[in-house]
Amino acid sequence: MLIRPDRDDLQVIGFYLGKVMVGVGYVLGAPMLVAAVMGDWDDLTAFLLGAGLSISIGRLAERRFATTQQLDWSHGLVTAALSWLLGAALFAVPLDLSGHYGSYVDAYFEAMSGLTATGLTLTQDIDHMSVSVNLLRHITHFLGGQGIIIVMLTGLGSSSGQVSTLYVGEGRDDRILPNVVRTARFIYLVASVYLVVGTIALALAGLVAGFSPLRSVIHGLNLFMAAFDTGGFATNSTSISYYHSAAIEGVLIVLMVAGALSFLLHYELWRGRRREVLENLEVRTIAVTGLITTSLLLLGLARAGTFTDVGSLFRKGVFSAISAHTSTGFTVNASRMFVTDWGRIAPAALLMALALGGMASSTAGGVKGIRVGLAAKSVSRDVRRAIQPDAAVVAVTYTQRHRRRITDAPVRSAITILVLYVLLFLSGALVGVYYGVPFEQALFESTSASVNGGMSVGVLEPGTPLPMKLTYTAQMWLGRLEFMAVFALLGYGIALVRGRI
Amino acid sequence: MTRRPVSARAVGEIAVAVVIVIAVIVTIRILRDSAPQARLPHVGTAAPDSDDPDIVTCERTLPDAEETQQAIDQVEPVGLISSTEVLECPDAFDQQVVVYVGEVIGDVLNRDGGAWLLVNDDDYALEVGPLRGHGDYRGGNSGLAVWLPAPLPDLEPGRGDVRGTVIQVRGRIHRSDAADGGGLTLRALSADTVSILREAQDLDRPVHRAQAVAAVLFALLAAGITLQARRSESRR
């Protein structure tokens, strides 16, 4: 029997949504400051309007729904799902006012793509976009990569008990430290250290590449946020090929890999437990799938004759493979060249790498290494059972912080999510096919949106039919929250209508 | 604990909130569409006049990748090309000597006795100018990576409210340029084969006053609500 949510349920959800909206308003202060310094007055007023709107609505919601009630699991999941929808809607306001989007839907798509660290874009004339608006796009990566609610609520002084359910709702399942606030602070610490070191490294590489000091810092900061948060936005239309710099590509590879590692693994490394890296099932899985997809990609590029020398083959091939496997989505060639110059095997290898993704509880997307690893271990267990005598006991173990024995519950959960992802890829591809896109290209674009990958073969562009844009937007949202929070929201909606008091 | 059903009043409040949000979004669209235009007149094309440019198509026979340098040098120049043509059929243009016209974008990366540029030939570059100056949406950008040997002409790249220098380059397309780690590039044949067709221009855009007024009103509203909330909290 479904129980209809009551007024207290809606009150607690409304209260925390209000807090998130206030947080969005404060975040807009950063690009506003940059707009003021650069003298971009229309951008400044766009940010001020967005911030004023967010804070006004947020404060009103906090006041109207004021409560001391704790969030339970369902509240947490529903609040997480709605926060991402509302956050994107509010960030879309200054983006839309920037004049670079053909409609509010396009601006909303961009904000969702930024927050979910996807990196697909509908920006028009990005090469004439102002520094401050471009910065906002990249800030959405930084917020979304860490987890928008955790950033907002811990930043605004909420207690651990208040935010713990939201932490799970945002697709995170590893609590690194005893409480969520301390875990969130550790996540900030890791991100901040990488922010400083990564931006300096990229700015220095930019100087060597020929940028002016100010421009190298601007590019360095934006590139950092897009790389570490495995987002994939770029400040210009040609992504990483704009820089013509092996040094920049090298630093980006390090940052993308760091972003695709779980914060738990960062914690273990922080504490000097290097053995965890070697024994961790997820790390091993990603090492194997990374090797396979990179080899396939190189083979495909060599077969297609895309590059004329071995150095270029490895430089572009390895960068693209890592960019895809970490679900970042940076490219070193124009999108159309995946179709016109990469043959058939290489794009297929990219698609595989995109779908697999990084580690759970990292900034990366994809179905995640742990699920693939658990499914593989489960298959291995079943095969061993089949070839052993009936009385033999087959125990398969794996290491994930500590040694664990494979049981049916986590395997079932992993396979359920894997199946859901595959269904999501296919359903998005079908929408593309309906609008006349060849199946392979539709599948590539759909997968890229679903796993928050951000690579494109050129299907998505401002003129793409509205239903396709909406489909990709929903896929990015579902993929980032890994289904559960969205399903909880749908269930809540049904219970509101059909549930019993 | 007794459960309190959702009242009709609460449902009404939510409906009003949704209507307000939709009204705000519509207002934002109106604001955006009423943005003042740049004082720059229609910038027009910067491409050289040519009644019949010799444009390469994908049917063209390709030079083999292992062709000798001598043979490559014998390839006849093919005339004016666009970046879209090259990206749609990179193989067809490999090692071709072409003429390319576009706007210098972003940054001039001076190094190694020359500079890397991004040169766009989309509508914003050659026809209508930067999007924010007119609001005439023409899709995404398109361009080629161009290498210019020194000495460089005086170039101001386009970015933000600047329409960059428009140049014409005569050079060779490299589908996979080993010196650039495999990128698709256009290398100017020499510094003499680069010419400026139009100097950079600033978009002199007036401030959008209606947007500024709306922004100040919302900022005041937010400040007022925040102050009132703080006062209520301190009273408690």
Comparing CA positions, the residue from B126, B138, B25 lying closest to residue A461 is B138
Strand partners, B118: B105, B145
Cross-chain residue pair A52–B219, CB shorter than 8 Å: yes
Strand partners, B80: B99
Closest Cα in chain B, distance from residue A189 (Å): 29
Who has greater pLDDT, B218 or A394?
B218
**C-alpha–C-alpha distance, residues A398 and A431, integer Å:** 39
Q: Within A229-245, where are the H helices?
A: none
pLDDT at B13 over 80: no
- Residue to mutate among B1, B159, B213, with most A CBs inside 10 A, is B159
pLDDT at A371 over 50: yes
Q: In this complex, how many residue pairs, one in chain A and one in chain B, have their CB atoms less than 8 Å apart?
A: 234
- What six digits make up the tokens of A342? 């990469």
Strands (E), chain B: 97-111, 114-120, 143-149, 162-163, 166-177, 183-188, 194-198, 201-202
Strand partners, B98: B171
- What six digits make up the tokens of A115? 């927050």
Compute the average pLDDT of residues B195-223.
Answer: 93
Lowest mean pLDDT among A188-197, A396-405, B86-95, B168-177: A396-405
Any CB–CB contact under 8 A between A53 and chain B? yes
Average pLDDT score over chain A: 91
Closest Cα in chain A, distance from residue B226 (Å): 7
pLDDT at B62 over 50: no
The pLDDT, as a whole number, for residue B16 is 80
Residue B19: pLDDT band (50, 70, 90) is confident
The pLDDT, as a whole number, for residue B233 is 80
**C-alpha–C-alpha distance, residues A302 and B7, integer Å:** 67
The pLDDT, as a whole number, for residue A398 is 87
**C-alpha–C-alpha distance, residues A398 and A396, integer Å:** 7
The pLDDT, as a whole number, for residue A162 is 64
pLDDT at A254 over 60: yes
The pLDDT, as a whole number, for residue B2 is 63
pLDDT at B46 over 70: no
- Per-residue HEC secondary structure of A24-84 comes to HHHHCHHHHHHHHHHCCHHHHHHHHHHHHHHHHHHHHHHHHCCCCCCCCHHHHHHHHHHHH
Q: What CA–CA distances, in Å, run from A182 to A20, A163, A173, A179, B189?
A: 19, 11, 15, 6, 60
Cross-chain residue pair A309–B178, CB shorter than 8 Å: yes
Who has greater pLDDT, A140 or B13?
A140
The pLDDT, as a whole number, for residue B61 is 45
Which of B141, B183, B212 is the closest to A126 by Cβ? B141
Residue B79: pLDDT band (50, 70, 90) is confident
* pTM recorded for the entire structure: 0.92
**C-alpha–C-alpha distance, residues B141 and B148, integer Å:** 21
**C-alpha–C-alpha distance, residues A119 and A126, integer Å:** 13
Residue A407: pLDDT band (50, 70, 90) is confident
Any CB–CB contact under 8 A between A160 and chain B? no
pLDDT at B48 over 70: no
Query: Is the separation of the CB atoms in A98 and B211 below 8 Å?
Result: no
Residue A174: pLDDT band (50, 70, 90) is low
The letter for the amino acid at B209 is R
pLDDT tens column, A11-60:
999 999 999 999 999 999 999 999 999 999 999 999 999 999 999 999 99
Residue B60: pLDDT band (50, 70, 90) is very low
Closest Cα in chain A, distance from residue B78 (Å): 21
Closest Cα in chain B, distance from residue A223 (Å): 15
- Residue to mutate among B155, B225, B230, with most A CBs inside 10 A, is B225
Query: Is the separation of the CB atoms in A47 and A28 below 8 Å?
Result: yes
Cross-chain residue pair A97–B4, CB shorter than 8 Å: no
Lowest mean pLDDT among A260-274, B33-47, B112-126: B33-47
- What six digits make up the tokens of B67? 């062709």
Who has greater pLDDT, A397 or B236?
A397
CA torsion angle for A410, A415, A420, A423 (degrees, to 10)? 180
pLDDT at B216 over 60: yes
Cross-chain residue pair B131–A501, CB shorter than 8 Å: no
C-beta pairs of A488-492 under 8 Å, 24+ apart in sequence:
A488/A74, A488/A77, A488/A78, A488/A81, A488/A169, A489/A77, A489/A78, A489/A81, A489/A82, A491/A2, A492/A5, A492/A74, A492/A78
Instruction: Calculate ∠ Cα A277-A282-A283, nearest 5°.
Output: 40
Who has greater pLDDT, B26 or A436?
A436
DSSP conformation letters of B75-99: SPP--B--HHHHHH-HHHHTT-EEE
Which of B115, B175, B226 is the closest to A55 by Cβ? B226
Lowest mean pLDDT among A124-133, A292-301, A395-404: A395-404
Quickly tell me which residue has 């998130």 as its tokens. Answer: A20
The pLDDT, as a whole number, for residue B203 is 85
The pLDDT, as a whole number, for residue A358 is 93
Element housing A405 (H / E)? strand A402-405
CB-CB neighbors (< 8 A) of A56 in chain B? 218, 221-222, 225
The pLDDT, as a whole number, for residue A124 is 97
**C-alpha–C-alpha distance, residues A144 and A148, integer Å:** 5
Lowest mean pLDDT among A197-206, A436-445, A461-470, B65-74: B65-74
Bridging pattern class, strands B166-177 and B194-198: antiparallel
Cross-chain residue pair B183–A102, CB shorter than 8 Å: no
**C-alpha–C-alpha distance, residues A260 and A255, integer Å:** 9
Say if residue A200 is exposed, middle or buried (CB neighbours under 10 Å; 0-12, 13-18, 19+). Answer: middle
Closest Cα in chain A, distance from residue B52 (Å): 27
**C-alpha–C-alpha distance, residues A329 and A453, integer Å:** 5
Any CB–CB contact under 8 A between A279 and chain B? no
Classify B109 in phi/psi space as left (phi over 0), alpha (psi -120 to 50) or beta.
beta
The pLDDT, as a whole number, for residue B65 is 47
pLDDT at A447 over 60: yes
The pLDDT, as a whole number, for residue B74 is 57
The percentage of chain B sitting over the pLDDT mark of 90, rounded to a whole number, equals 57
Which of A40, A42, A215 is the closest to B107 by Cβ? A215
CB-CB neighbors (< 8 A) of A48 in chain B? 215-216, 218-219
Any CB–CB contact under 8 A between A438 and chain B? no
Number of H-type helices and E-type strands within chain A: 22, 2
Other CB atoms within 10 A of residue A404 CB: 13
pLDDT at B68 over 60: no
The letter for the amino acid at A99 is G
CB-CB neighbors (< 8 A) of B184 in chain A? 333-334, 337
ipTM of this predicted structure = 0.91
CB-CB neighbors (< 8 A) of A96 in chain B? 28-29, 32
pLDDT at A283 over 80: yes
The answer for A 305-324 residues in CB contact with B (under 8 A) is: 305-309, 311-313, 315-316
pLDDT at B81 over 80: yes
Q: What CA–CA distances, in Å, run from B226 to A54, A63, A89, B231?
A: 12, 10, 21, 9
- What six digits make up the tokens of B91? 């193989």
Cross-chain residue pair B141–A127, CB shorter than 8 Å: yes
pLDDT at A278 over 90: no
pLDDT at B42 over 90: no
The percentage of chain A sitting over the pLDDT mark of 70, rounded to a whole number, equals 95
CB-CB neighbors (< 8 A) of B122 in chain A? 125
pLDDT at B148 over 90: yes
Q: How far is CA B199 from the centre of its chain?
A: 18
Compute the average pLDDT of residues B124-135.
Answer: 91
Which of B24, B163, B178 is the closest to A312 by Cβ? B178
